[in-house]
Amino acid sequence: MPPLSRIDMMATLTIEDPSIASERAENRPEEDRSNDRLRLESELRALTEVAKTLTAPLELPELLEAALQRMAQELEPAEAGVIMLWDPSAGLFRAAASIGFDREALGRIGIRSGESITGKVYDSGKPLLLENPESVAQAMGNLRTANLSYLQQARRKDGIPQSCLAVPLQVEGRRFGVLVLQTLHKPAAFAYRDLPFVQSLADLIALAIDRTNLQAQADASRQARQEEHMRSEVMAALSHQLRMPLSAIKGYASALLLDELNWSEAKRREFLEMIDEECDGMETLIAEMLDSALIDIGQLKPEPQPLRLPRLADEMSGEVQRRSEQHSLLVDFPADFPLVEADPHWIKQVFRNVLDNAVKYSPEGGLIVVRGEARPADVLVSVADQGLGISPEDLIPLFEKYFRARYHNGYHIGGTGLGLPIARAIVEAHGGRIWADSKLGEGTTVYFTLPLLPTLAEEAA
């Protein structure tokens, strides 16, 4: 029978009788027992501090870095350490946190299953102690050439670590990666007495990773449910809003087709105008849905050209004014307003969506002012209404898809919740940004910026 390795020997140790163990401990020199007590107290403090760190409200990489730092403080041989996590999508281990390494070089390393120390420990699920450079070199023997080069760059030196201790990160059969600690220069080396402490720390880290993964899954599930709920609400709203104009169009058209009724020319014209108006509403709804679909599949590709924004603002304000007798629209741009670089088709859509929103959220009418301001690198456009206003908590998600501000005063504002998100996508695709300022009962102002022509921007600079 071949001799047992030291790891195998550890695995086959039997539990010693407590009385014998106690007697043996009492016979040891007092100095050794005192050192053991100090070591245990220190390790317990370290475990407590790491446990507190791993429950702090930090991102996972920061938690892992803090845990590694605490290990290096407690373990004298630990000059460098890395936490390698398995990325199932790539089929590789990647460095999630490290100390004592150049992070940029370390970030290029991708370890396969079974490769080097990390791959072997992960596959076996057992710790690995390498007490000298020869055993480290043997364990790293199948490390691919590119990874070896990156590892040498990360260590900022050639050669092999003096000793190494690697333990798996796993919880109840779920494996996440491997913790690797290395001695690079010191004469001190890792020993078997370090294994229980490091494995306990690794278990704490694995629990933190598991908790983070479960939280991410829960967040994703909750987000998916919210999105599905919002889609359902939007589809219900769209069905209602499409059904209403269709019913109206059908009613007016059927009335005009009645042979037994002789409609006057004025009445016939009124019915036709109503049909035309309802068709415009349906066209707007369908356009918003199509624009949103184009954005979702990444097909929003502006073709910028020199554009006179005041002329476009006048055109779109006139279009909205013709549809609303309750509102008065005012366009205020300086006479020397500069040219911008933008796609006229898409910027028309921005004006249309923002102006429609201003009309929609001022149901009692009022003044809507469109202003333009030239700045050194861009232009600022604002659209201000005198409507219901928006609460501070609703301003944050205002430009998210399907979001609809809610009011408790009996007002119900129809719409798809797509107009402003589409406007945001268009403005950002042009290199600008969009935001809103509002107070309940005092109206809302939507701002957006667009870049100047490059030549004008250079002259201004």
Cα separation, 166 vs 126, whole angstroms: 9
CATH topology of domain 231-296: Helix Hairpins (1.10.287)
The Cα–Cα gap between 189 and 130 comes to 9
Token pair 């500069």 is at which residue?
Answer: 338
Question: Where along the chain do its domains lie?
Answer: 25-217, 231-296, 305-460
The tokens describing 376, both together, are: 């050194």
Residues in the chain: 461
Q: Which of 142, 136, 133, 134 is nearest to 166 (CA)?
A: 136
For the record, the structure tokens of 439 come out as 């107070």
Residues in a beta bridge with 306:
341
pLDDT score of 337: 93
The candidate with the shortest Cα–Cα distance to 405, out of 387, 422, 380, 423, is 387
Q: Which two tokens stand for residue 38?
A: 């100090």
Distance CA 415, CA 359 (A): 12
Return the structure tokens found at 266. 């004025």
Architecture, CATH, for domain 305-460: 2-Layer Sandwich (3.30)
Give the angle 374-377-383 at the CA atoms, nearest 5°.
Answer: 40
* Sheet hosting strand 327-332, strand order edge to edge: 327-332, 366-374, 378-384, 443-451, 434-439
Q: What is the pLDDT of residues 401-433, one digit of tens each?
A: 777 666 555 555 666 677 888 889 899 989 999
pLDDT at 8: 41
Residue 333 near residue 313 (C-beta atoms within 8 A): yes
Amino acid at 176: F
Tokens of 159: 């050669």
Percentage helix, strand, coil for the chain under 3-state DSSP, each rounded to 5: 50, 20, 30
**Number of Cβ within a 10 Å radius of residue 217:** 10
DSSP state of 453: P
pLDDT in tens, 63-113: 788 777 777 777 778 888 899 999 988 899 999 888 888 888 888 999 999
Q: How far apart are CA 50 and CA 66, in angstroms?
A: 8
Question: Can you say whether the dihedral through the CA atoms of 159, 160, 162, 168 is positive or negative?
Answer: positive
pTM as predicted: 0.49
CA dist., res. 284 & res. 214, Å (int):
42
Q: What is the architecture, at CATH level 2, of domain 25-217? A: 2-Layer Sandwich (3.30)
DSSP state of 16: P
Mention every residue, 6+ apart, whose C-beta is less than 8 A from residue 421: 292, 399, 400, 401, 402, 403
* DSSP SS3 for 333: coil
Cα–Cα dist 412/71, whole Å: 59
pLDDT tens track, the chain, 461 positions: 344 343 343 333 333 344 444 444 455 566 555 656 655 666 666 666 666 666 665 577 777 887 777 777 777 788 888 999 999 888 999 998 888 888 888 889 999 999 999 999 999 999 999 988 899 999 998 999 999 888 888 887 667 888 899 999 998 888 999 999 888 887 878 888 888 878 888 888 888 888 888 888 888 888 878 777 766 766 666 666 667 778 888 888 888 888 777 888 888 888 888 888 778 777 777 776 666 666 666 667 788 899 999 999 999 999 888 888 889 999 999 999 999 989 998 899 899 989 988 998 888 889 999 999 999 889 999 999 998 888 888 888 888 877 766 655 555 566 667 788 888 989 998 999 999 999 888 899 999 999 987 765 555 55
**48: exposed, middle or buried (Cβ count in 10 Å: 0-12, 13-18, 19+):** exposed
Gyration radius (Cα) of the chain, Å: 35
